[in-house]
Amino acid sequence: MSENPDSPAAPTAGNPVTPGSQASFGTYRRQPVSFVRRGTRLQGRRQAAWDQHADAFVVDVPRHVADTSVHPDYVFDAAAEFGREAPLVVEIGSGLGEAVVAAAEANPERDFLAVEVYRPGLANTLLRIAQRGLTNVRVAQANAPEVLGSMLPAGSVAELWVFFPDPWHKAKHHKRRMVKDSFAELAARALAPGGLWRLATDWSSYAQQMRDVVAASPDFRNAHDGERSGPASPLTAAWASGVDCEATGESDEVGGWAPRFEGRVLTSFENKALTAGRVIFDLTAERI
């Protein structure tokens, strides 16, 4: 998510994350990074949460070449981790854990894996898990493409969530965006047939890119193809508002936008976006 966990200056336990030292695409250094260097140290309640709850809820991911890399031989065993067979929901870029923890509490019959590279965000997630006494959430400090490309068994995921990834709004940085054709291939690998890939962003240009990626993929179909076009389209509303873009047309006649996902709670980040007058875009792609 676009949420940035704050970064206090106290020492942290364990291996620090050094996100600037490798690509967000793990060992695939040829790919441009999709995150920037941020602080990773913990203090106070976050450090205490990590010390008390990491053993129970943080997946012990074997590393390869960097602190958030995933060893290519490692495969996540959800049944062993959760002690049961249940549909698995994976959130990429879980931020402070607001969405995934609320969903886990509301859906005890499902298991949830929160994937995030920044330890402060994961520590916040541990706090929320412990406060609610949940047992159906695990967190993984790992690069998303490696998680989808090798760590998760093929076809093992019921739903994949990517909510408010970094928009990299400058045109020269669009190549750093996470959601692109190569990422769709990884998402397709991880999802079971009929599984859902849910996306959300508050940047109109990224929303269009996401829609185009889904449309171009032979592995997905837009679950709301043609819906919410014209005056009902959030893109038409964004063009009219001029909040984040110059209009490239008067009306979006393509559509394809999903209604707001009811399973996504209103996070602090999304609330700030709405308060600023930004338009929220939702997409739902079904694995063919």
Beta-bridged to residue 283, according to DSSP, are 199
Helix-strand-coil percent breakdown of the chain, rounded to 5? 35, 15, 50
Whether 67 is a known active-site residue: answer no
**Which of 191, 278, 283 is CA-nearest to residue 2?**
278
**Which of 133, 88, 132 is CA-nearest to residue 114?**
88
DSSP assignment of 129-140 equals HHHHT-SSEEEE
Amino acid at 15: N
Check: CB of residue 278 under 8 Å from CB of residue 244.
Answer: yes
Q: CA 128 to CA 274: how far, in whole Å?
A: 24
Choosing from 67, 111, 166, 252, the catalytic residue is 166
Which segments of the chain are extended strands (E)?
A: 88-92, 111-116, 137-141, 157-163, 191-201, 220-222, 281-287
DSSP assignment of 129-185 equals HHHHT-SSEEEEES-HHHIIIIISPTT-EEEEEEES-----SGGGGGG-S-SHHHHH
**Which of 214, 196, 188, 115 is CA-nearest to residue 159?**
196
191, burial (CB in 10 Å: exposed 0-12, middle 13-18, buried 19+): buried
Catalytic amino acids?
166
